[in-house]
A and B are shown apart, each in its own frame.
Chain A
Amino acid sequence: MAFFLETLLGGLMAGMLYSLVALGFVLIFKASGVFNFAQGAMVLFAALAMARFAEWVPLYLGITNLIVANLLAFVGAGMVMFVVAWVIERLVLRHLVNQEGATLLMATLGITYFLEGLGQTVFGNNIYKIDIGMPKDPVMILESTFEGGILINKEDFYAAIIAAALVALLSVFFQKTATGRALRAVADDHQAAQSIGIPLNRIWVIVWCVAGVVALVAGMIWGSKLGVQFSLTTVALRALPVVILGGLTSVPGAIVGGLIIGVGEKLSEVFLGPYVGGGIEIWFAYVLALGFLLIRPQGLFGEKIIDRV
């Protein structure tokens, strides 16, 4: 029982991290109808920027305080992501208004290649580490309830808390601020939003910036867990089932989907994996998402797709 709970908790925390990446997909899809395959590359790019800035700040500015240096690096990387978002909107999206979904998807794949190349050219292609001072030692909880207690990873725990905080922040931003309201208006109907004077292009820049910052946070957390390297882009592939499970247009969906996928992956790997040879995490997530899709084709919280002839 304790072991089961331990796996469950591990899955929930891993799920929070998936939903962090998934959020980036959802934000952009909601506001511009673009399925942004480049989210993974953005995570890598942001993490690379953050890691290198954190290295360069003490080197060139002489600031040795870990917190200040990391904060400066975070701000710097955030600014880089703003520039990336602005350039993408300016050079790509603006020219592809009203194109089919598949074309837009391919364009973001092109951006993916570009960002992967650019990131590694500018910031180098070694493995870097991000040290934001998260404790790495595991702790035992609930020792009184179960024999031996439940082992959880402190780092995962803090990461999950950061993710949850970010999600809460984004929800407030979307629901309470004027910009957030404009974003939701654009998401509902581009034309109607434009006709009441919401500038579409600026909204897109804002959304890509927000997605960039989400990518930065995701890159920071994943980077401090796994190290910043090229394989960080595959995080996006891990997050895709989360997005379609929760629904492409739903922020809460990304969270719930992340939790379901995280738990499903861990439980399947631990309890089912040994029978079929292990390593089933990645496709099991997809099959799980597929199973949910067969019941609800638009994802758990997605808008119902209505076909009119």
Chain B
Amino acid sequence: MFYRENGQFKTTYRADQQIFPIAQDRIAMFVMLAIGFVAVPALASEYMFRAILIPFLIFSLAAVGVNILVGYCGQISLGSGAFMAVGAYAAYNFFVRIDGMPLLVALILGGVCAMLFGILFGLPSLRVKGLYLAVATLAAQFFADWMFLRIQWFTNNSPSGSVSVSNLQVFGLSLESPLAKYLFCLMLLAVIALLAKNLVRGAVGREWMAIRDMDVAAAVIGIRPMYAKLSAFAVSSFIVGVAGALWAFIYLGAWEPAAFSVDQSFRLLFMVIIGGMGSIMGSFFGAAFIVVLPIFLSQFLPAVAGIFGIEISTAGVSHAELMVFGGLIVWFLIVEPHGLARLWSIGKQKLRLWPFPH
């Protein structure tokens, strides 16, 4: 009844091409932004910020990056953890080695380094496809793991690659409180997500999607596969690199190469597939699902066991968590293989006809 485009006439091409053509969507977006920037900071507790909100924001950003590569360009990548690591360590080097380097510039330079690394390991995609490529991208993952563990120069000569940063500031404002960290991440996420959304709506995004759907056909109609694939790798690994730098700087503070292991790559791919491939919105859903689920399980399982009077050990809980997590993922893939974003769009369709579906 309330959600329909009847009566919203578009008289200019500009109006027709905007991101949210339906007025209600625009209003909903502004409400969401208002909630994110005003309501959440006013209401959330410190634990919420640290355990849920900040990881959610950072992983959303990373998932947007992975989604561009996997969802829009169709190149399955298991090397996202490596791109995060490169972003984090590159930003660290810029931040520590150059005096007075602003945090924001360091983060972006970290992203640029991740971008170069991504282009390098994206080169095989010109020749290798599908699952072969997925496994080949693991090369990037293991290479990065090794590089930051063994080459001391990258980690400022610290043994075993563990480094830390402190005293973070942006434009003279301290980034020590969880609230400030949250707002900083949220702002970066909002800007990059907007840029990404516009990229995938534009010419580049259409090229990526053409390559994803059938690369030979795309080449036939004049899309350069090399340009399209490498630009997808570049944009994706830039965003993932920035997210990695944020994860290290803002969330962890002190980290070692194991923070960006192959598990991280799998988690990111889970987010994209559960959220919905080829959907910026889906990345947020996927990130929320994967970030919140383990926390929920670790709180919920002991409580359930308590009801039945079973004492489970910490190890038992973590094993049960693994089982439930794996089971839920499989169940989810069976029920909705196109991800949460599909559910969202089905819901929107239904809402347009509601309450008179016939």
Flag if A101 contacts B131 (CB, 8 Å).
yes
Flag if B329 contacts A102 (CB, 8 Å).
no
* Interface-centre pick from A114, A279, A290 (highest chain B CB count, 10 A): A290
Flag if A95 contacts B334 (CB, 8 Å).
yes
Residues of B within 8 A of A102 (CB): 70, 76, 273, 277
Q: With an 8 A cutoff between CB atoms, is A118 at the interface?
A: yes
- The one of A107, A117, A309 that contacts B220, using a Cβ cutoff of 8 Å: A309
Q: How far is the CA of A241 from the CA of B124 in the complex (A)?
A: 14
Smallest CB separation, B97 vs chain A (Å):
21
Flag if B127 contacts A294 (CB, 8 Å).
yes
Closest to B327 in A: A114
Q: With an 8 A cutoff between CB atoms, is B269 at the interface?
A: yes
Q: How far is the CA of A279 from the CA of B129 in the complex (A)?
A: 29
Q: With an 8 A cutoff between CB atoms, is A200 at the interface?
A: no
Chain A residues numbered 89-103 whose CB sits less than 8 Å from any CB in chain B: 91-92, 95-96, 99-103
- Chosen A-B contacts, 11 in total, with CB atoms closer than 8 Å, are A106-B270, A109-B266, A110-B329, A111-B330, A120-B315, A121-B323, A240-B138, A283-B143, A294-B124, A297-B128, A309-B214
Q: With an 8 A cutoff between CB atoms, is B348 at the interface?
A: no
Flag if A276 contacts B150 (CB, 8 Å).
yes
Q: How far is the CA of A237 from the CA of B127 in the complex (A)?
A: 22
Residues of A within 8 A of B183 (CB): none
Q: A96-B333, A240-B135, A282-B142 are in contact. Are A113 and B129 (CB under 8 A)?
A: no
Residues of B within 8 A of A109 (CB): 266, 270, 326, 329
Chain B residues numbered 112-166 whose CB sits less than 8 Å from any CB in chain A: 124, 127-132, 134-136, 138-139, 142-143, 145-146, 149-151
Q: With an 8 A cutoff between CB atoms, is B337 at the interface?
A: yes
* Interface-centre pick from B130, B142, B330, B337 (highest chain A CB count, 10 A): B330
Q: How far is the CA of A193 from the CA of B139 in the complex (A)?
A: 36
Flag if A237 contacts B315 (CB, 8 Å).
no
Residues of B within 8 A of A131 (CB): none
Smallest CB separation, B268 vs chain A (Å):
12
Q: Other CB < 8 Å A-B pairs besides A237-B138, A297-B127, 4 of them?
A: A121-B316, A279-B150, A286-B139, A297-B132
Q: With an 8 A cutoff between CB atoms, is B217 at the interface?
A: yes
Q: A106-B270, A109-B329, A110-B327 are in contact. Are A286 and B142 (CB under 8 A)?
A: yes
Q: How far is the CA of A289 from the CA of B142 in the complex (A)?
A: 13
Closest to A121 in B: B319
Q: How far is the CA of A237 from the CA of B137 in the complex (A)?
A: 12
Closest to B269 in A: A106
Flag if B333 contacts A112 (CB, 8 Å).
no
Flag if A114 contacts B330 (CB, 8 Å).
yes
Flag if B150 contacts A278 (CB, 8 Å).
yes
Q: With an 8 A cutoff between CB atoms, is A151 at the interface?
A: no
Q: How far is the CA of A218 from the CA of B316 in the complex (A)?
A: 27
Closest to A113 in B: B326
Flag if B142 contacts A297 (CB, 8 Å).
no
Flag if A283 contacts B320 (CB, 8 Å).
no
Q: Mark B266-278, 1 if CB is under 8 A from A, else 0.
A: 1001100110010
Q: How far is the CA of A44 from the CA of B130 in the complex (A)?
A: 27
Q: With an 8 A cutoff between CB atoms, is B19 at the interface?
A: no
Residues of A within 8 A of B334 (CB): 92, 95-96, 107
Closest to B274 in A: A106
Smallest CB separation, B168 vs chain A (Å):
31
Q: How far is the CA of A181 from the CA of B213 in the complex (A)?
A: 34
Q: How far is the CA of A308 from the CA of B151 in the complex (A)?
A: 45
Q: A118-B323, A277-B150 are in contact. Are A290 and B136 (CB under 8 A)?
A: yes
Smallest CB separation, B15 vs chain A (Å):
36
Flag if B330 contacts A244 (CB, 8 Å).
no
Q: Mark B306-337, 1 if CB is under 8 A from A, else 0.
A: 00000000011001111111111110011001
Residues of B within 8 A of A241 (CB): 135
Q: With an 8 A cutoff between CB atoms, is B103 at the interface?
A: no
Chain A residues with CB under 8 Å of chain B are 35, 91-92, 95-96, 99-103, 105-107, 109-118, 120-121, 125, 237, 240-241, 243-244, 248, 276-280, 282-283, 286-287, 289-290, 293-294, 297-299, 305, 307-309
Q: How far is the CA of A99 from the CA of B337 in the complex (A)?
A: 8
Flag if A290 contacts B139 (CB, 8 Å).
yes
Flag if B329 contacts A106 (CB, 8 Å).
yes
Q: How far is the CA of A96 from the CA of B273 in the complex (A)?
A: 14
7 tightest CB-CB pairs across the interface, nearest first? A113-B326, A117-B322, A114-B326, A117-B323, A110-B329, A286-B139, A283-B142
Smallest CB separation, A22 vs chain B (Å):
11
Residues of A within 8 A of B35 (CB): none
Residues of A within 8 A of B270 (CB): 106, 109
Q: A110-B329, A293-B128 are in contact. Are A277 and B151 (CB under 8 A)?
A: yes
Q: How far is the CA of A294 from the CA of B132 in the complex (A)?
A: 11
Smallest CB separation, A56 vs chain B (Å):
20
Residues of B within 8 A of A305 (CB): 129
Closest to A37 in B: B266
Flag if A282 contacts B146 (CB, 8 Å).
yes
Smallest CB separation, B139 vs chain A (Å):
4
Flag if A113 contacts B323 (CB, 8 Å).
yes
Q: With an 8 A cutoff between CB atoms, is B48 at the interface?
A: no
Q: A101-B131, A106-B269, A243-B135 are in contact. Are A293 and B124 (CB under 8 A)?
A: yes
Q: How far is the CA of A72 from the CA of B21 in the complex (A)?
A: 68
Q: How far is the CA of A305 from the CA of B128 in the complex (A)?
A: 10
Flag if A298 contacts B146 (CB, 8 Å).
no
Q: With an 8 A cutoff between CB atoms, is B216 at the interface?
A: yes
Residues of A within 8 A of B281 (CB): none
Q: A283-B146, A286-B136, A286-B143 are in contact. Are A110 and B323 (CB under 8 A)?
A: no
Q: How far is the CA of A55 from the CA of B306 in the complex (A)?
A: 32
Residues of B within 8 A of A118 (CB): 319, 323
- The one of B149, B277, B323 that contacts A114, using a Cβ cutoff of 8 Å: B323
Smallest CB separation, A281 vs chain B (Å):
9
Flag if B325 contacts A294 (CB, 8 Å).
no
Q: How far is the CA of A112 from the CA of B267 in the complex (A)?
A: 13
Q: How far is the CA of A112 from the CA of B15 in the complex (A)?
A: 48
Flag if A110 contacts B150 (CB, 8 Å).
no
